[in-house]
């Protein structure tokens, strides 16, 4: 089985968020970048587990600049067999999806597993777009994925519960928590990652359909109103009269 895992690069969650150029650009000053957690912990690990059990190959693809090399090597250390980097600025989800879809067309994957969303733009777009560009079925928010005889059985999240579905391969899956247990790359993996192939390819000329015009930070830090623990009635009054939420 041949599996493609698209991986994104995002600022570490504890990063201080700031903007430059009149609030039109994200300030990367002092920001550490990591592999998008959902991609690393769930999509990639589940892909590796399936390959280890059933044979095949796991390829990771990243759309972005050369500074993502460390993240790509980490993915190889976790267990991917080879990597492709499309050398371009990933500023629009459609553009990114078009790069991934073009690569996927040339390689006949049985399965593509993306993360559900990146933790920077929280946009939940690329997986669905890749599926539509390839005219493939897609299931999102997947917490469980088993493959047998070319059929994927999945558990996906729905409002207030889960749904179990079956879909024939080829298929695009958007992963979320519970799909796998995060792995820490071991020494052998880290050493081996150095010699695994990483191909760098040029981007195709796909359009960018959206652009960020401005960023803004929350207006001001909230000022908490403290209520005495012996005067809980006051809390109820404020929630009713002032906040109007009860």
Partner 1 sequence: MAVLSFVEVSEGKIKKASVEAAYYGSKTAEALGTDSVAVVLGEANAEELATLGQVGVKKVLHAADAKLNHFDSRAYTKAVAAAADAAGADVVVLSFNNNGKLLAPRLSVKLKAGYVPGAVELPQFNGGSASVKKNVFSGKASATFTVATGKKVISVNPNSLSPVRGGGSATVETFNAALTDADFNVVVKGVDKVVGEIPLTEAELVVSGGRGLKGPENWHLVTDLAKELGAATACSRAVADVDWRPHHEHVGQTGLTVRPNLYIAVGISGAIQHLAGVNGSKVIVVVNTDPEAPFFKAADYGIVGDAFEVMPKVLEEYRKFKAAH
Ligand X SMILES: Nc1ncnc2c1ncn2[C@@H]1O[C@H](COP(=O)(O)O)[C@@H](O)[C@H]1O
Piece of 1-9, 53-61, 65-73, 220-228 that binds partner 1 (CB under 8 A): 220-228
Partner from partner 1, ligand X, none binding residue 62, C-beta < 5-8 Å depending on class: ligand X
Task: Give least dist CB 26 to ligand X, A.
Answer: 14
Is residue 148 within the footprint of partner 1 (CB under 8 A)?
Answer: no
Give the CA distances from residue 96 to residues 8, 61, 73, 208, in Å, rounded to whole numbers and listed in that order.
10, 11, 20, 9
Piece of 53-61, 77-85, 113-121, 191-199 that binds partner 1 (CB under 8 A): 113-121
CA dihedral 60, 62, 68, 73 (to 10 degrees): 10
Q: Report the residue from 20, 70, 91, 123 that binds ligand X according to the rule CB under 6 A.
A: 123
Spacing of C-alpha 31 from chain mean position: 19
Piece of 1-9, 69-77, 169-177, 190-198 that binds partner 1 (CB under 8 A): 169-177
Is residue 67 within the footprint of partner 1 (CB under 8 A)?
Answer: no
**Measuring CA to CA, which residue among 69, 52, 95 is closest to residue 7?**
69
Spatial distance between the Cα atoms of 222 and 109, rounded to a whole number of angstroms: 49
In the region spanning residues 25 to 44, those forming contacts with ligand X, defined by CB under 6 A, are 36, 38-39, 43
Looking at the Cβ atoms of 17 and 243, the one nearer to ligand X is: 17
Task: Give least dist CB 80 to partner 1, A.
Answer: 22
Spatial distance between the Cα atoms of 246 and 240, rounded to a whole number of angstroms: 5
Spacing of C-alpha 36 from chain mean position: 5
Give the CA distances from residue 171 to residues 63, 125, 134, 150, 206, in Å, rounded to whole numbers and listed in that order.
21, 16, 10, 10, 23
Task: Give least dist CB 5 to ligand X, A.
Answer: 7
Piece of 48-56, 74-82, 166-174, 193-201 that binds partner 1 (CB under 8 A): 166-174
Is residue 7 within the footprint of partner 1 (CB under 8 A)?
Answer: no
Spatial distance between the Cα atoms of 225 and 237, rounded to a whole number of angstroms: 13
Looking at the Cβ atoms of 187 and 226, the one nearer to partner 1 is: 226
Looking at the Cβ atoms of 64 and 79, the one nearer to ligand X is: 64
CB atoms within 10 A of CB 207: 8
Alpha-carbon Rg of the chain, whole angstroms? 21
Instruction: Return phi, psi of residue 153, to 5°.
Output: -110, 125
Piece of 53-61, 64-72, 134-142, 187-195 that binds partner 1 (CB under 8 A): 134-142
- Residues making contact with ligand X (CB under 6 A): 6-8, 36, 38-39, 43, 61-64, 90, 93, 96, 114-115, 117-118, 121, 123-127
């Amino acid at each position: 089985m041949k599996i493609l895992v698209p991986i994104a690069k995002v600022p570490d969650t504890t990063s201080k968020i700031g903007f430059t150029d009149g609030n039109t650009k994200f300030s990367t000053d002092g920001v550490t970048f990591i592999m998008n957690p959902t991609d690393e912990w769930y999509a990639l690990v589940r892909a590796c587990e399936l390959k280890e059990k059933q044979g095949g190959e796991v390829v990771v693809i990243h759309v972005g600049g050369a500074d993502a090399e460390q993240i790509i090597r980490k993915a190889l250390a976790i267990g991917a067999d080879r990597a492709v980097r499309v050398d371009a600025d990933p500023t629009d989800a459609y553009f990114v999806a078009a790069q991934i879809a073009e690569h996927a067309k040339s390689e006949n994957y049985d399965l593509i597993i993306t993360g559900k969303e990146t933790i920077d733009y929280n946009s939940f777009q690329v997986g669905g777009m890749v599926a539509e560009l390839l005219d493939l079925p897609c299931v999102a928010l997947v917490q469980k994925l088993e493959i047998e005889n070319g059929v994927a059985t999945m558990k996906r999240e729905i409002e207030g519960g889960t749904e179990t579905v079956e879909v024939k391969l080829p298929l695009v899956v958007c992963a979320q928590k519970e799909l796998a247990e995060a792995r820490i790359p071991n020494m052998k993996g880290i050493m081996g990652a150095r010699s695994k192939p990483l191909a760098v390819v040029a981007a195709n000329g796909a359009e960018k359909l959206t652009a960020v015009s401005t960023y803004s930070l929350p207006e001001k830090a909230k000022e908490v109103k403290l209520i005495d623990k012996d005067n809980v009635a006051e809390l109820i009054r404020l929630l009713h009269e002032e906040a109007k939420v009860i």
